């Protein structure tokens, strides 16, 4: 089975653009669209109350950019959605910033998370969520978890445990090491992980299994074997 390391995942994005002419915004759109379609299916299969929103948690990097695409695609499919983000739009770069701005323009409800809040204050904002979508941290994360973000992750995990709110991780659960599968303290506990192109190298670790849930690999319109070639060896 093909599994990608952190460096291979980074190289895939770069080489797809530099050598194959596939812009990063296209890869992000493909990733967000395929993830949104799966989340829409999960939403309609859930026992959530009518109009209960999907809460998408967006970090400041490309994983957060994927989250903003997901939110936009869900809105386009009449799925109620709210974004909770860790960064203002001016604190982001590149494709993530573009998709944050687009979500703002479309009137998607966006709440800037106060990372000084404790876990309870975070959790009190999401009493009726249908699903949580974790797009906080991607393959570039390498622990330890910063204290302010740790409170947010504990709040998401707490709401999942107490209210039974299903959690979907985008690419990998925030806090999980891409290469070794080591979980930071804390790490998002996902019911489903939607990972792009291929599973990540750390997914085979026994330490990772309690955090991944069901793993689904989604294509983003580029072949890792074709783009990376010998770099996969």
pTM above 0.75, yes or no: yes
CA distance 131 to 220: 23
Number of structural domains in the chain: 1
Structure tokens at 114: 């106060």
Phi, psi for 143 (deg, rounded to 5): 40, 170
Q: What pLDDT is attached to residue 233?
A: 47
> Which ranges of the chain have pLDDT less than 70?
230-233
> Per residue in 38-80, pLDDT tens?
999 999 998 777 889 999 999 999 999 999 999 999 999 999 9
Cis upstream peptide for 186 (omega within 30°): yes
CB count in 10 Å sphere of residue 187: 27
Per-residue model confidence (pLDDT) at position 114: 87
Structure confidence at residue 190 (pLDDT): 99
Confidence at residue 119, expressed as pLDDT on a 0 to 100 scale? 72
The pLDDT value given to residue 212 = 99
Write out the residue range of the structural domain in which residue 127 sits: 3-232
Report the CATH number at residue 136. 3.40.50.10260
Residue 54 pLDDT: 97
């Amino acid at each position: 089975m093909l599994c990608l390391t952190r460096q291979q995942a980074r190289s895939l994005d770069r080489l797809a653009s530099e050598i194959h002419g596939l812009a990063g915004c296209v890869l992000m759109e493909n990733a967000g669209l395929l993830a949104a379609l799966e989340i829409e299916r999960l939403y309609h299969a859930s026992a959530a109350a009518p109009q209960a929103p999907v809460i998408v948690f967006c970090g400041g990097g490309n994983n957060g950019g994927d989250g903003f695409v997901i939110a936009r695609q869900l809105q386009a499919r009449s799925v109620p959605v709210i974004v909770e983000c860790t960064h203002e739009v001016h604190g982001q770069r590149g494709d993530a910033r573009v998709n944050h701005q687009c979500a703002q323009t479309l009137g998607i409800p966006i709440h800037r998370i106060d990372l000084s809040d404790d876990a309870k204050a975070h959790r009190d904002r999401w009493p009726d969520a249908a699903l949580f979508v974790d797009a906080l941290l991607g393959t570039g994360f390498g622990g330890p978890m910063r204290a302010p973000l740790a409170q947010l992750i504990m709040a998401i995990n707490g709401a999942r445990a107490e209210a039974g709110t299903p959690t979907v991780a985008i690419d990998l659960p925030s806090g999980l090491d891409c290469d070794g599968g080591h979980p930071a303290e804390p790490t998002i506990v996902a019911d489903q992980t939607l990972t792009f192109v291929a599973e990540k190298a750390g997914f085979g670790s026994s330490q990772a299994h309690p955090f991944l849930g069901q793993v689904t690999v989604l294509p983003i319109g580029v072949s890792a074997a074709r783009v990376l070639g010998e770099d996969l060896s």
